[in-house]
Amino acid sequence: MAGKPHRGVAGVIRGVDPAVSKQVDPYFPDHGDPRYRVHRYELTLDYRPGPNRLAGTARISALAGPEALRELALDLSEFRIGRVLVQGKAAHYTHRGGKLRVKPGKPLPAGTAFTVEVHYSGNPKPVRSQWGALGWEELTDGALVASQPTGAPSWFPCNDRPADKASYQVSITTASPYQVVTGGRLLTRTTRASSTTWVYEQAVPTSSYLVGIAVAPLERVLLVDGEPGGVPQTGYVPAELVPRFAGDFGRQPQMMRLFEELFGPYPFGEYRVVVTDEELDVPVEAQGMAVFGTNHVDGVRGSERLVAHELAHQWFGNSVTVADWRHIWLNEGFAKFAEWLWSERSGGRSIAAHAADAHRKLAAQPQDLKLADPGRKLMFDDRLYDRGGLAVHALQRALTEPMFLRMLRDWTTGRRHGVVTTADFMAHAQRYAAPGQSLVELFDAWLFQGALPPLP
């Protein structure tokens, strides 16, 4: 297929601590396989919306870890497996309980680069979880993929760990009236008869949960065309919502400029916003894109804070990615704080006012959330978002404003496309404190204790 040359393994995993990346995620120990690392996925998919039928081939290029691989595991939901190849040769496999276990004809030596090819087909459906349906979801007309945290296996075989970031090429063939939207650069769009094939390349490292897909009859709305110095920004919207969308997302280009000023250059080549033709409880970020529901488009910018929140995730969460889900506050706390930043800088309520409201709300709720390790049950609790924003605000108050802003920008630029932990951030922030000033007590109170500290 057409596309950029493959990136070398070293280029793809720049900024990733190998010791961190090969750990099992303690919240989802059954997901992923730390014995190897993927550096590229090439997905060739044929999707028929009417019967919700998906046929795919996944070619996975990976690197064995420090021990020989006698077997490797991929996460994949209930599809029919056609064949599985390792290094181009048929391999034995078993597929049950969401795990495709593959046994090569002979063990793969430690440190060896290898390929796995999986041919599969079936009717994709979401992964069930305590947070509802995750991953591939059939819409009234089309389909949507929003996988956070563990929905990626609903549509392709993967090493489903946030720390295992890889490049992607995604080719999807579907009926011509449908738009196909995902992250990355659109390489080609080819129509033959009644079908169109869309090929996208996401060259920068991407976690499996951050590969979003939309297949639907949507109108394309250009917000910014990528003029010199600008990030291309496009909306894909149901036709009847285009006028409202123009107002609700009209200030997104200003947000982009502000966040580039504060957080450094936008980490990807473009940014796409998809509005589904159905309501969503919350919008969802993906690499280089975000997905909103019809309920987030009201024509009066009623969800503008969420527009800012999802855009901020491109820096916090997508480019700078958590090593495992214990550290999710590094995604959500900074995205919440970015909402407050946008509000203040755009002439709305101040950061201090937002922080005071969040603190009052938290003070009236149970004090059992430990931000730096909330547990699987509470990792998407509303309190994590507000307390995360307050923790960042507390750090803002503890540092001088110039040093705080430098700390933010250096974090997102220095860790660009990398994998991080809470300990990494604490060590980073300490470097911007005044001589002799320790941030240990501040971090202990906000990140590791359940009791809510006083308002900064």
- The answer to whether position 278 is within a domain reads yes
* Whether 209 and 269 share a structural domain: no
pLDDT value of residue 229: 73
CATH number at residue 188: 2.60.40.1730
* Portion of the chain with pLDDT greater than 90, in percent: 93
> What would the two tokens of residue 25 be?
């995620």
Between strands 213-216 and 179-182, the pairing is: antiparallel
pLDDT value of residue 184: 97
Given pLDDT bands bounded at 50, 70 and 90, which one contains residue 25? very high
* Whether 260 and 325 share a structural domain: no
Of 42, 117, 304, 310, which residue is the catalytic one? 310
pLDDT value of residue 22: 57
Average pLDDT over residues 184-200: 97
Estimate the crossing angle of helix 329-345 against helix 351-363, to 10 degrees: 130
Residue 332, marked binder: yes
- The answer to whether position 104 is within a domain reads yes
Average pLDDT over residues 125-149: 95
* Whether 126 and 90 share a structural domain: yes
* Whether 376 and 431 share a structural domain: yes
* Whether 78 and 183 share a structural domain: yes
Last-in-domain residue among 297, 314, 331: 314
Hey, CA dihedral for 434, 321, 314, 354, is it positive or negative? negative
> What would the two tokens of residue 62 be?
């990976």
* Whether 52 and 138 share a structural domain: yes
pLDDT value of residue 4: 27
pLDDT value of residue 11: 30
Q: Look up 385 and say whether it is catalytic.
A: yes
* Whether 273 and 353 share a structural domain: no
Average pLDDT over residues 281-288: 96
The per-residue pLDDT of the chain, averaged, comes to 94
Cβ-contact 77, 43 below 8 angstroms: no
- The answer to whether position 453 is within a domain reads no
In this structure, of 21-30, 258-267, 414-423, the range with the lowest mean pLDDT score is 21-30
* Whether 121 and 148 share a structural domain: yes
Residue 313, marked binder: yes
Cβ-contact 200, 214 below 8 angstroms: no
Asked if pLDDT for residue 160 goes beyond 60, the answer is: yes
> What would the two tokens of residue 401 be?
């404003």
Q: DSSP labels for 73-141?
A: EEE--S-EEEEEEETTEE-EEEEETTEEEEE-SSPBPTT-EEEEEEEEEE---PEEETTEEEEEEEETT
Cβ-contact 28, 328 below 8 angstroms: no
Q: How far apart are CA 335 and CA 385, in angstroms?
A: 8
* Portion of the chain with pLDDT greater than 70, in percent: 95
Is the bond preceding 149 in cis, omega lying within 30 degrees of 0?
yes
Asked if pLDDT for residue 1 goes beyond 60, the answer is: no
pLDDT tens for residues 93-132?
999 999 999 999 999 999 999 999 999 999 999 999 999 9
pLDDT value of residue 230: 87
* Whether 207 and 228 share a structural domain: no
pLDDT value of residue 9: 28
In this structure, of 3-17, 170-184, 234-248, 359-373, the range with the lowest mean pLDDT score is 3-17
Given pLDDT bands bounded at 50, 70 and 90, which one contains residue 402? very high
pLDDT value of residue 71: 97
- The answer to whether position 371 is within a domain reads yes
pLDDT tens for residues 53-93?
999 999 999 999 999 999 999 999 999 999 999 999 999 99
* Whether 327 and 310 share a structural domain: no
Estimate the crossing angle of helix 304-312 against helix 252-263, to 10 degrees: 40
Into how many domains does the chain fold? 3
Q: How many CA atoms lie within 13 A of 283 on its CB side?
A: 27
Of 385, 401, 432, 441, which residue is the catalytic one? 385
pLDDT tens for residues 434-455?
999 999 999 999 999 999 999 9
pLDDT tens for residues 200-249?
999 999 999 999 999 999 999 999 987 777 899 999 999 999 999 999 99
- The answer to whether position 456 is within a domain reads no
- The answer to whether position 390 is within a domain reads yes
pLDDT value of residue 456: 92
- The answer to whether position 454 is within a domain reads no
Last-in-domain residue among 158, 180, 214: 214
**Which domain does 56 fall in, by range?**
1-214
Asked if pLDDT for residue 179 goes beyond 70, the answer is: yes
Q: How far is CA 183 from CA 56, 87, 170, 205, 233, in A?
A: 19, 28, 9, 12, 12
CATH number at residue 250: 3.30.2010.30
Q: Look up 310 and say whether it is catalytic.
A: yes
Q: How far apart are CA 334 and CA 312, in angstroms?
A: 8
CATH number at residue 354: 1.10.390.10
* Whether 247 and 269 share a structural domain: yes
Asked if pLDDT for residue 307 goes beyond 50, the answer is: yes
Residue 428, marked binder: no
- The answer to whether position 118 is within a domain reads yes
Last-in-domain residue among 180, 214, 248: 214
Between strands 233-237 and 271-275, the pairing is: parallel
* Whether 367 and 282 share a structural domain: no
